[in-house]
Amino acid sequence: MAMDASEETLRRAMSDKQAAVDAQGNTVRDLKASGAAKADIDAAVEALNALKLEKSSIEKQLQATITGGSDVGTLSRDAFRQAVGNTLERRLFYIPSFKIYRGVAGLYDYGPPGCAVKANVLAFWRQHFVLEENMLEVDCPCVTPEVVLKASGHVEKFTDLMVKDEKTGTCYRADHLLKDFCKEKLEKDLNMDAEKAAELKQILAILDDLSAEELGAKIKKYGIVAPDTKNPLSDPYPFNLMFQTSIGPSGLIPGYMRPETAQGIFVNFKDLYYFNGNKLPFAAAQIGQAFRNEISPRQGLLRVREFTLAEIEHFVDPEDKSHPKFGDIAHLEFLMFPRTEQTSGQSAKRMCLGDAVYEGIVNNQTLGYFIGRVYLFLTQLGIDKERLRFRQHLANEMAHYAADCWDAEIECSYGWIECVGIADRSAYDLRAHSEKSGVPLVAHEKFSEPKEVEKVVIAPVKKELGLAFKGNQKNVVEALEVMDEKEAMEMKSILESKGEVEFHVCTLGKVVTIKKSMVTISKEKKKEHQRTFTPSVIEPSFGIGRIIYCLFEHSFYTRPSKAGDEQLNVFRFPSLVAPIKCTVFPLVQNQQYEEVAKQISLSLTAAGISHKIDITGTSIGKRYARTDELGVPLAITVDSTSSVTIRERDSKDQIRVSVEAVASVVKEVTDGSSTWTDVSWRFPAHSHVSIDE
Amino acid sequence: MAMDASEETLRRAMSDKQAAVDAQGNTVRDLKASGAAKADIDAAVEALNALKLEKSSIEKQLQATITGGSDVGTLSRDAFRQAVGNTLERRLFYIPSFKIYRGVAGLYDYGPPGCAVKANVLAFWRQHFVLEENMLEVDCPCVTPEVVLKASGHVEKFTDLMVKDEKTGTCYRADHLLKDFCKEKLEKDLNMDAEKAAELKQILAILDDLSAEELGAKIKKYGIVAPDTKNPLSDPYPFNLMFQTSIGPSGLIPGYMRPETAQGIFVNFKDLYYFNGNKLPFAAAQIGQAFRNEISPRQGLLRVREFTLAEIEHFVDPEDKSHPKFGDIAHLEFLMFPRTEQTSGQSAKRMCLGDAVYEGIVNNQTLGYFIGRVYLFLTQLGIDKERLRFRQHLANEMAHYAADCWDAEIECSYGWIECVGIADRSAYDLRAHSEKSGVPLVAHEKFSEPKEVEKVVIAPVKKELGLAFKGNQKNVVEALEVMDEKEAMEMKSILESKGEVEFHVCTLGKVVTIKKSMVTISKEKKKEHQRTFTPSVIEPSFGIGRIIYCLFEHSFYTRPSKAGDEQLNVFRFPSLVAPIKCTVFPLVQNQQYEEVAKQISLSLTAAGISHKIDITGTSIGKRYARTDELGVPLAITVDSTSSVTIRERDSKDQIRVSVEAVASVVKEVTDGSSTWTDVSWRFPAHSHVSIDE
C-alpha cells in the first residue's frame, strides 16, 4: 500500500495549518508589541485557538489514516514512535548493544533484518553514487593520529558546551537546556509580553553562536536547573566529542576515533588526483564507522555514539563548478527551504531544481547536481517525498569558509531530522592539510599557450640559512618557499624597513628570526604554462543510520487482523531495501509440499533472490503476519505440487503460478522490471476467501 | 595464465626439499647428541649442505617461472615481496595511512582498486557463508564497555609481554626477540653442541607458555639486547593490546575498541536463539573492524593495528556435533598438518577431509564442515591450493577449554601465515557472559516424554538473606541459585560441618558469609520435561586483510614487454575478485570510436558489469599493461564501428566480436558460465601480430 491520496492530502493540510498557526501566533505577538486595543488582541488570540483546534483535528485524522484506519484517533507521535520501536526491537531490526549488561546509551546493534536492510542501503548507495559517477572509493582506518585532527580543526573545535548537575555530576548539553527552556516558554506562555518573547526568539536564532560565558549567563539569568533533579548547574565548559585513545605501547602518540570519514580522503588527495590522471573534477568516496562521544544521547537511533557514514568528496576547479550531467536532474521538483524563506518565517516550498540553480538560490551546478541525486537516492529507497525537504543553512550555521550548504531533512516522529549534509566547503580542508603537513595538495590547469604573469619570486639564500638553522634549514627553506604572495610581500617590506622578521615555521612548530641576508623576494614577469590552485570540495555526507531509521518510520503501518481483534504491523519496504525478497510456506507440514518448497528455493537461489523457507506448523495467516512485520514483499504458499500462490504484502492479493514459473515471476517483480499489477494481469487470481488467512 | 605445470611441480619439489633439509638437520643434531663418530657427523653435515644447495637451485627456477621466465634467477623472497609491494602501492591498492604526515605504523588505507577487491571478497564471503547457510548476520559497535571484555577475559589476558630499550624507550615484544635469537642461532651455528641446540629448540616449543619472569631470565641469560641500538632491555611486563577509551562525558565508563567481533554475537545469544525459533544449531555472523594496539607492527599488511574481521559463531548442542551437509565436502582433499605430524617433525600431508573426521583427527563433523567450506572459499578467491594448509593447534597453543582448533595458513613471502582460525571453543564464551551478566545464555531440548532425574534443589531463605544483605539480597539469591551441582554440594557439606561458608558473589564483586539458616540444599528426584544446556560454539574467524594480501602475492607475476626491455606486472585475479571486470579502449582518439565505446559501456552497465573507458591517447600496449597491473580480466578494443576485439589478460589472446554481442560475451566469461577457452572457439581470433601491442 503506497501512501494513499487521503494521507497525502492530510499531510499537506497539516503542513498548511501549522504554517497558519505559526503566522497567527506572530500576529498575536505583534499586536501586543504594537500596543493594539485589547479587543483586537483578544480576537486574534481567539482565531489562533481556532486554528490550533483545526490542526489537532487534522492530526487525529492523519494518525488514523497512517495506522490503517484503525480507531486510534488519539495516537500521538509518541505512540506511533513506540509502535514502530516495539516492532523493530521485537523483530531484531535493532537491539540496544550489550543489553545483557544493561546496555550503553547511544550504542545499538543491527540484528539480522536490520543488518540486511543496512547492507541493501549501502549496496544501493555504491550503485547510485560510486559506480554511476566512477568515484574513487577508499577505505581508511578509524584510529587517527592527533596531528590529522589538529589540522582539520577537530581537536580545537569539535566540542559541545557542557554543564554538570552540581550534586550528582550528571552532564547535560548547555545549549539543549537553554533551547528547551525557550521553546517551552514560547509555546506554553501565550500571555508573555512582546519584549520577552522577542528576546527568547532571538536566543533560539543565535543559539549556535553563543560562547560559554554567554550561555552560562543566560542559564543563570533564567534560573535553569538540572531537569532531572532541579539541582543547580555548573558553568558551561567545552567537552571534546571525540573518543580519545593512544596509539602504540609508549603512550606518546595521542589518537582519536575519527569523527567523520572525510579526513581520510583529504590526506590522500595527492595520490587520488594522480590516480585520476591529474584531472579535475573527480570524486572520492568512503563508507565507514565514525564516532562521537555524545554528552547525553537522546532521540534513540538518531543520536548515537557510533554510526556508519557514507561520504563523497567531489573535487572541482573553484573557477568552474558547472556539472556535465546537471541537465539530467534539472527538471526535478521537490520541497526546498531556502535561507530567505526561513528568516522571513515562510515554509518550505516546492521548487524546480534547475530554477533554483539558475536563480542563484543554490550556489552552483555541482552542488545542485548532488542535491538532485540525493533526492533520487532517498525517494528510491522509500523515503516519502512529502516528508523530505532540502533546507539551506543560515549564514550563522555555516562555517566561514563554506560557499553554500543544504541539508536533506526527513520528517519523522522526532521532527525534521538532518540525514544528509551537502556542502560546498571551498578549499578549506585541502589548504588546512597542506599547511599542517607541508605537502602541497593542489591541482594544475595546463594552458594551451603560455601566459605572462607578474609573480613573486622567493629565493632563500641557503648558505646563510644553513649557518643559522643547521639541521632545520630544510624546514625553513620550505616554509619560505610556500608563502603566498601577500605573506611574501609583507615579509619583504618588514625586511626592508627593520632588517629582520619573526617567522613561524609550521613543520618545526616554532618561530624563527629571518634576516635580510637570508632571502630575496622580488616581483618578476614570468611566462606561465599552467595555473596551480587548491580545488574546492563539494561534500555530500550521509548519516546511514538516520536514513534507515526514517525509512523504518515512513514504511510502517498497521492494519486490523482478519478477525479484527488485533492490529498487525507492516513495513512497506520497496524490494530494493527489504531484508529478504520472499518467503516460501508449505501450506501444511507434509513431505510432498516440503519437496516442492525446496525445489522452488533452489530456483530462487539460482535467480539470485534472497528468501527463506518457513516450515513451522503455525497457521498460514500467522506466517503472513510474521513476514509482513519483516517487510518481505512476496510470499509463496505451496498448496499443490504443480502450482503455487504468490501473495503481495500490501494489497494481500494472490495469484496462482506454476512451480516452474514462480522464480522468474518473483525476480521480475523484485528487480523492478515488472510491477505487481503487471504480473497480476497475466496470472489467475487466487480467491481471497479462503480459510488460510 | 593460470599457474602452469612446471610451476606446480617446482612448488612441490621445493616443499619436499625443505622437508628433507629439516629432517637432515635433525639427523645432524641427533648424531651429535648421541655422541656419534666424527666421520658420521661430517658425512651427515655434507649431505645437509648438498640438500640445501639443491633447494636453493629449485628456488631459483621457481622464482624464474613465477616471474614469467625472465632471467631473475637471484630474485629472492624479499625481492618478490618488494616487486608486489611496489605495484600495489603505485596502483593504490593500498596506501600507508596518513602518508602526508609520515604515517602511523600498522595502519593502511585501501585505495580504489584495493577497496573494490575488498568489497568483492566480502560480498563473496556473504554469499558463500551467510546466504548459503542462512546465518543470522549482526552488526555491533566497535566501542565496547569494559564489563564485556572483562567477562571475555580480554582485559586480563589480551596482553603481550613487552621489553623497553632502557635508553631510547623503544618497545619490543619480548617473545619476538627471544624467538629471533633462537632461530638465528639454530640456523647459523651448525656446530653448536647438541645440548645447547636442544635447549633452544625446547624454548621455541614452549615460547607461548613462558611467564614474564621466565622470559626475562632467558633474555638476561643469552644477553639479548635491543636489536636497533644494542642497548640493554628492561624486564618484560604485560602490555594490553586493546585501544582504551572512555565512554560518555563523565570519564567514569572505561571502554575499549573491540579486539574481535565475536563478543557482540555472544552477548546477543538469547535474542538470536529466540529469533531462530529456539532451535539449534544455528550460526550468527558479523563483518566489521577490529583493533589491536600492536607493540611493534611488522610484516607490512599482515600485522596491523586495525583490520576487518569476518566471524561466524555456530551454536551447536555439545552432545551432537554432526552436520547435515558434511557429505557435501567430505570428498575434498587438501594439505592438512595434524598435531602428531608437527610434533614428530613430519610435513603437512594431503588428506581426505572425510577420513580426517572419521579417524578422529578433526574433532567433529561441524568443525570438519567449516574446514571444507573455508578451503572452497579461499581457493575460489584465487588462493593457490598448493600454498594453503590447515594446521592443527598444538596442545599448548590451545585455550584449556577448546576442544580442537585448526588454522588455515597461507604461504607467502613472509612464510606460512594464519589467515583463518577455525576453533571449537566449547561452551566457554556463553558461560563467561552468563556468569558475569547473570543472564542465562542457554538452550533447551524438549524431551518427547518426561525423564526422571536426581537434581540438586537450592532454596534460599529470603527472609534471612534480606535481613543480612538488605539491598544486595537479590544478587546473593541469584548467585546461590546459579551454583552448579558440584558447588552446591560442597556448600552443603561445609554448612553442615561449620555452620557458615564464604561465598563469592560475582555481580557484587565481593565475598559474603552464608549461614546455615540462609539456604537449604537437598537432592530430590524430579520429572524433567527438557534438558537445559549451554551450547558449544564453533568459530571460524577470517582475517580479511591477510587473505587479501596473500591473494595479491599468489596472483602476481611479471612477464617481459614485447620489446623485451622491461618487466610488466600482472595480477591474475579471478573475475570474482578483480576490481573491475573489463576496460574499454577506443584504439585511437576519434569521435566515431568514442561513440561505440559509450554504446558498449551502456550495454555493459545494463548487464551489471563493472568497467571503465580509457580514452587517453597512449598506445594500446601501454593501456593493456595498465589494465594488467590492476588485474582486469578482459579488455575491449574499439577498432571499428561494427566489431571490436576482446583480449584476455593472461593468455593475451584476442577474439573479434560484434558490437552487439560484446556485453553478453563479457558477462558469460566474467560470471563464470563460460570459460575463455569456450568462447574463443566461437569467435574468430584477432591476429596477435599487430602494431598495437
**Nearby residues of A322 by Cβ (< 8 Å), 6 or more positions away:** A364, A365, A366
Looking at A278-292, A308-322, A599-613, which range is the least confident one? A599-613
**Higher local confidence (pLDDT), A296 or A340:** A340
Question: Crossing angle of helices A112-125/A544-555, nearest 10°?
Answer: 110
pLDDT at A538: 97
Long-range contacts of A7-10 (CB under 8 A, 24+ apart): A7/A62, A7/A65, A7/A66, A8/A386, A10/A58, A10/A61, A10/A62, A10/A65
pLDDT-based confidence at residue A308 (cuts at 50, 70, 90)? very high
All 3 cell numbers of residue A454?
607578474
pLDDT at A510: 83
CB-CB neighbors (< 8 A) of A95 in chain B: 138, 268, 271
Question: How far apart are alpha carbons A309 and B557 in whole angstroms?
Answer: 37
Whether A672 and chain B come into contact, CB under 8 Å, resolves to no
Looking at A32-46, A359-373, A491-505, B581-595, which range is the least confident one? A32-46
- Tell me how crowded residue B687 is: count the other CB atoms within 10 A of its CB: 10
What residue ranges of chain B have pLDDT lower than 50? 1-5, 67-74, 689-693
pLDDT at A1: 32
Whether A431 and chain B come into contact, CB under 8 Å, resolves to no
Beta-carbon separation of B111 and A138 below 8 A: yes
DSSP state of B165: B
Q: Are B109 and A140 spatial neighbours (Cβ–Cβ below 8 Å)? A: yes
Question: Residue A72 is which amino acid?
Answer: V
Our measurement of the distance from residue B7's CA atom to the centroid of its chain's CA atoms, rounded to an integer in Å, reads 26
All 3 cell numbers of residue A316?
572541482
All 3 cell numbers of residue B378?
579461499
CB-CB neighbors (< 8 A) of B148 in chain A: 98, 101
The A residues from 497 to 536 touching B (CB cutoff 8 Å) are none
pLDDT at A605: 85
* Distance of residue A76 Cα from the nearest chain B Cα, in angstroms: 29
Complex ipTM: 0.81
pLDDT at A574: 96
Tens-digit pLDDT profile for residues A184-195: 888 887 778 888
By C-alpha distance, the chain B residue nearest A291 is B143
**Nearby residues of A675 by Cβ (< 8 Å), 6 or more positions away:** A669
* β-bridge pairing B108-110 and B237-240: unpaired
When CB atoms are compared, the residue of B111, B139, B243 closest to A115 is: B139
When CB atoms are compared, the residue of B107, B137, B138 closest to A141 is: B107
Taking CA atoms, A316 is separated from A274, A440, B405, B602, in Å, by: 15, 16, 53, 26
Give the residue among B554, B560, B559, B622 at the shortest CA–CA distance from B587: B622
When CB atoms are compared, the residue of B100, B267, B616 closest to A439 is: B100
Question: Mean of the per-residue pLDDT values for chain A?
Answer: 89
pLDDT at B64: 58
**Higher local confidence (pLDDT), B228 or A363:** A363
pLDDT at B170: 86
**Nearby residues of A36 by Cβ (< 8 Å), 6 or more positions away:** none
Q: Is the peptide bond before A281 cis (omega within 30 degrees of 0)?
A: yes
Best B139, B475, B581, B613 residue to mutate vs chain A (most A CBs within 10 Å): B139
> Which residue do the cell numbers 546459579 mark?
B482
**Nearby residues of B591 by Cβ (< 8 Å), 6 or more positions away:** none
* β-bridge pairing A519-533 and A443-460: antiparallel
